[in-house]
Chains A and B, each alone.
Chain A
Amino acid sequence: MNFSRRNFLQVMGIAGGVVALREFAGRVPMAHADPGASPGLFLLCYMRGGWDQLLTLDPRDNTDPRFSEANARKAGGSGIMPAYDMVTEAATKTLLASNPSGVQRAGNLSFGPAVPTTLMDHAADLAILRGVSMDTLTHEVGRRYFTTGKFPRGLAASGSSITTLVANAGGPTPLLPNLAVSTESYNEGLPSFASPTSVNSTADLQLVLKPLGKALDPKSAEAIEAFQAKSDTCENHELDQSSVVTTFRELTKKSHSVAKSNAASLFQFSLTSPPAEVKTLFDALGISTAADLAGPRGRAAIAAQALAKGISQAVSVELADDLDDHDSWDTDHAPKIRTAMDALGRLITVLKNTPHKDGGSVWSKTTLLLFSDFARTPLVNTRNGRDHHLASSALVAGPKIRGNQVVGATADQLMGAQLINPGTGKVDASGVKMRPADIHATLLTSMGIALDPIRNQNPTVISALLK
């Protein structure tokens, strides 16, 4: 064999490539308890600003004398005012006319009057977590705590988003493994393929998925790709000490596949003449106006396409903004909650009606977490608003999550978070408090993902939630 420098570099390139490809293609191994298994899909839904639990996931009977305004406000009183009769929203008024308690029931679950039937229809799959202790009344901290499962450092997020952990566990195959639709998302120490792709709209997605500007002649493009594939310079070797060059080349190759894919067409959300498939999606999500497209339903449509078409392993999406109703809660809060939860309910329906390539529906492979920054005070303030409250709730679902159950509770006085027995999910005075870290640990466990990234939070897996 002629042992030239070129031959040598080729051999080394192959050897180095194998090592580096393992680095690139291989996820961080600790992140998946069973590297052979897929973690499934993940949908993280966020409602910005802090939601009112009484209107949503932790209601109280509006006719119960303990919760009348007089009894709520008196010394030693309940400190809880559902105040559903103050809500000006027509749908809530209609509900109260036939059901004065304002508490809606679906299976074993109970919901407040602002939750639409489109979401309650999925009660059999859903588990409500009540009395989640947020340990903060600062928006950024609550949001980032629930996003990563780790309590922030000051205001700064600590650790990676749960979507990033899932994307890492799923590997680099999807075009956009971790899609963040109008949400914050973080990657701390995991491979770059798992980093979030942040978009606010389908226009942003078009920028991401479509080649911008004039395309090269196909023969030029082919020659450049061939050049890139065999390019091997000393400068690359010097830079590649931590495989960054090898990773960059793999990413470049993948970017070509993104540009050549028809993924952009899946997000061409035209209201005037949508393609048949998009029209079906619009009908299912109730999208008919530009406002719909720009709001929660439009963002739900992006999430639906990304999960249903195999574009993403994990999607985070903001379904409501500006829930921070320190005043005008009576006029503003319920409509925003209803719109957001309706979008989620419809999104779940779309995922249930979409077959997954491995059998079953896309929903049957999807783990869901719905959360907000924290809750709102159970007493209405003097501006008809509600302020920040520690004990919040969450909604979860998943292939390995036991639905149709409520885990945890808040007290009937002051709505404080109660301790629970993680094995039964019931209130237990000698139990533990339920925190976002515990919810993350439970969901990660249900997906077969190891808990190493959040281990320093000493999380408790709530086994009552697991099938």
Chain B
Amino acid sequence: MKAQWFLALVPAAAIAAFACSGNGDDSLVQGSGNAPPVDHPPIQVQGTSASPRRLSTDQLRASLPIAFGNDATGAPITWKNGANPALSNPGIARSLGEPDYIDTTDEALDPSVLYAKFMDDAARNICGQGLDADATRTDPAQRALLRHVDLADTVESNPAGVDANLRYLKLRFHAVKVAEGDTATVAPLRELFSTVSKASTETDPKAKAREGWNAVCVALVTAPEFNLY
């Protein structure tokens, strides 16, 4: 019985791998780097890479302001605990494993419960800041998060705009380019946006939509694609 299951899973695994492989074998890289002599035969290099690991504390410090842009006053958005940058808090930085170069010199970059917990804290904080900043900007092109929708848009009122914004956010946070006609990839995010905005107890349509986009933003920032590379 076990053997039958195994045999059933082998082709399944192959198909699943193909389903996610895009345009063929991505592990093969051709001709990158310095060009060989013109008469050199074609080179096929087997791609190798380090094991995936999580963002370091320093990378978070650097990347959050880039991903979220500036707040309404023009200051870069970063995770704040109260009024202070959370990643400058020694307790948080130490708990995230940042070395102090007195007792420790290496930063453990495997994911941990604490890292996941702090990213959840960070996501709730920075997504709120980002949406607050966007709410002050009338020109969508100036917004960091809501670039393809109006503030009160819903899945029903502007399905194309919501999908376009979800594709944009997927690219902004996960560096994943979703093709314009690909509605399946953003479907779970669309469902999350719709569920949360509809369940919101707010009465203002903009506030309802804001809760939906906040949930989408938190989900994207806490996703493995954002945190692992």
Report the bound CA distance from A435 to B226 in whole Å: 46
Question: CB of A256 within 8 A of chain B?
Answer: yes
Chain B 59-80 near chain A by CB (<8 Å), digits 1 or 0: 0000000000000000000001
In the bound complex, residues from chain B placing their C-beta under 8 Å from that of A251 are 111-113, 115-116
Contact check, B95 vs A197: say whether CB atoms are below 8 A apart.
yes
**Option from B20, B95, B110, B120 in Cβ contact (under 8 Å) with A192:** B110
Contact check, A220 vs B108: say whether CB atoms are below 8 A apart.
no
Contact check, B174 vs A213: say whether CB atoms are below 8 A apart.
no
CB distance from B57 to the nearest CB of A (A): 13
The 6 closest A-B pairs by CB, nearest first: A234-B20, A255-B117, A255-B116, A212-B121, A204-B91, A192-B110
CB distance from A253 to the nearest CB of B (A): 8
Contact check, A219 vs B176: say whether CB atoms are below 8 A apart.
no
Contact check, A204 vs B95: say whether CB atoms are below 8 A apart.
yes
Given A219-B196, A220-B214, A244-B51, decide whether A214 and B124 contact each other with a Cβ distance below 8 A: yes
Report the bound CA distance from A256 to B223 in whole Å: 14
Contact check, A207 vs B52: say whether CB atoms are below 8 A apart.
no
Report the bound CA distance from A207 to B86 in whole Å: 10
Known: A8-B12, A220-B196, A220-B214. 4 other contacts (CB 8 A): A201-B91, A204-B91, A239-B225, A254-B116
Question: CB of B103 within 8 A of chain A?
Answer: yes
Chain A 234-245 near chain B by CB (<8 Å), digits 1 or 0: 111111011011
In the bound complex, residues from chain B placing their C-beta under 8 Å from that of A224 are 192, 196, 215, 218-219, 222
- Of the A-B pairs whose beta carbons lie under 8 Å apart in the complex, a sample of 14, sorted by A's number, is A5-B19, A8-B12, A8-B16, A15-B9, A15-B12, A199-B95, A207-B92, A216-B218, A217-B196, A220-B215, A223-B215, A235-B176, A236-B224, A239-B228
Question: CB of A30 within 8 A of chain B?
Answer: no
Contact check, A217 vs B20: say whether CB atoms are below 8 A apart.
no
Question: CB of B183 within 8 A of chain A?
Answer: no
Report the bound CA distance from A217 to B198 in whole Å: 13
Given A227-B192, A245-B224, decide whether A238 and B20 contact each other with a Cβ distance below 8 A: yes
Question: CB of B13 within 8 A of chain A?
Answer: yes
Question: CB of B23 within 8 A of chain A?
Answer: no
Report the bound CA distance from A252 to B115 in whole Å: 9
In the bound complex, residues from chain B placing their C-beta under 8 Å from that of A219 are 196, 199-200
* Closest chain A residue, CB of each to CB of B105: A156
CB distance from A346 to the nearest CB of B (A): 26
* Closest chain B residue, CB of each to CB of A191: B110
Chain A residues packing against B (C-beta within 8 Å): 5, 8-9, 11-12, 15, 156, 175-176, 184, 187, 192-193, 195, 197-201, 203-204, 207-208, 211-217, 219-220, 223-224, 227-228, 230-231, 233-239, 241-242, 244-245, 247-249, 251-252, 254-256, 258-259
Question: CB of B88 within 8 A of chain A?
Answer: no
CB distance from B200 to the nearest CB of A (A): 7
Contact check, A212 vs B225: say whether CB atoms are below 8 A apart.
no
Given A213-B121, A237-B20, decide whether A207 and B225 contact each other with a Cβ distance below 8 A: no
Report the bound CA distance from A405 to B224 in whole Å: 53
Cβ-Cβ contact count across A and B, 8 Å cutoff:
182
Report the bound CA distance from A64 to B97 in whole Å: 51
In the bound complex, residues from chain B placing their C-beta under 8 Å from that of A241 are 51-52
Question: CB of B142 within 8 A of chain A?
Answer: no
**Option from A198, A211, A236, A244 in Cβ contact (under 8 Å) with B94:** A198
In the bound complex, residues from chain A placing their C-beta under 8 Å from that of B111 are 192, 244, 247-248, 251
CB distance from B19 to the nearest CB of A (A): 5
In the bound complex, residues from chain A placing their C-beta under 8 Å from that of B22 are 234
CB distance from A400 to the nearest CB of B (A): 30
Question: CB of B227 within 8 A of chain A?
Answer: yes
CB distance from B103 to the nearest CB of A (A): 5
Report the bound CA distance from A11 to B19 in whole Å: 13
CB distance from A207 to the nearest CB of B (A): 5
Contact check, B222 vs A211: say whether CB atoms are below 8 A apart.
no
Report the bound CA distance from A219 to B54 in whole Å: 28
Q: Which of B1-52 contact A (CB under 8 A)?
A: 9, 12-13, 15-17, 19-20, 22, 26, 51-52
Report the bound CA distance from A175 to B112 in whole Å: 11
CB distance from A168 to the nearest CB of B (A): 13
**Option from A207, A230, A252 in Cβ contact (under 8 Å) with B91:** A207
* Closest chain B residue, CB of each to CB of A217: B211
In the bound complex, residues from chain A placing their C-beta under 8 Å from that of B116 are 248, 251-252, 254-255
In the bound complex, residues from chain B placing their C-beta under 8 Å from that of A238 are 20, 26
**Option from B19, B114, B211 in Cβ contact (under 8 Å) with A9:** B19
Contact check, A235 vs B225: say whether CB atoms are below 8 A apart.
yes
In the bound complex, residues from chain A placing their C-beta under 8 Å from that of B86 are 212
Most chain A beta carbons < 10 A, residue from B16, B86, B125: B16
Most chain B beta carbons < 10 A, residue from A8, A187, A198: A198
* Closest chain A residue, CB of each to CB of B81: A212
Question: CB of B137 within 8 A of chain A?
Answer: no
Most chain B beta carbons < 10 A, residue from A192, A203, A213, A217: A213
**Option from B118, B201, B222, B228 in Cβ contact (under 8 Å) with A217:** B201
Contact check, A248 vs B121: say whether CB atoms are below 8 A apart.
no
Question: CB of B140 within 8 A of chain A?
Answer: no
Contact check, A256 vs B224: say whether CB atoms are below 8 A apart.
no
In the bound complex, residues from chain B placing their C-beta under 8 Å from that of A254 are 113, 116
Report the bound CA distance from A5 to B19 in whole Å: 7
In the bound complex, residues from chain B placing their C-beta under 8 Å from that of A252 are 116, 120, 222
Report the bound CA distance from A341 to B144 in whole Å: 56
Contact check, A248 vs B91: say whether CB atoms are below 8 A apart.
no
Question: CB of B104 within 8 A of chain A?
Answer: yes
* Closest chain A residue, CB of each to CB of B192: A227
Question: CB of B161 within 8 A of chain A?
Answer: no
In the bound complex, residues from chain A placing their C-beta under 8 Å from that of B117 are 208, 211, 255, 258-259
In the bound complex, residues from chain A placing their C-beta under 8 Å from that of B228 are 239, 244-245, 248
Report the bound CA distance from A215 to B214 in whole Å: 12
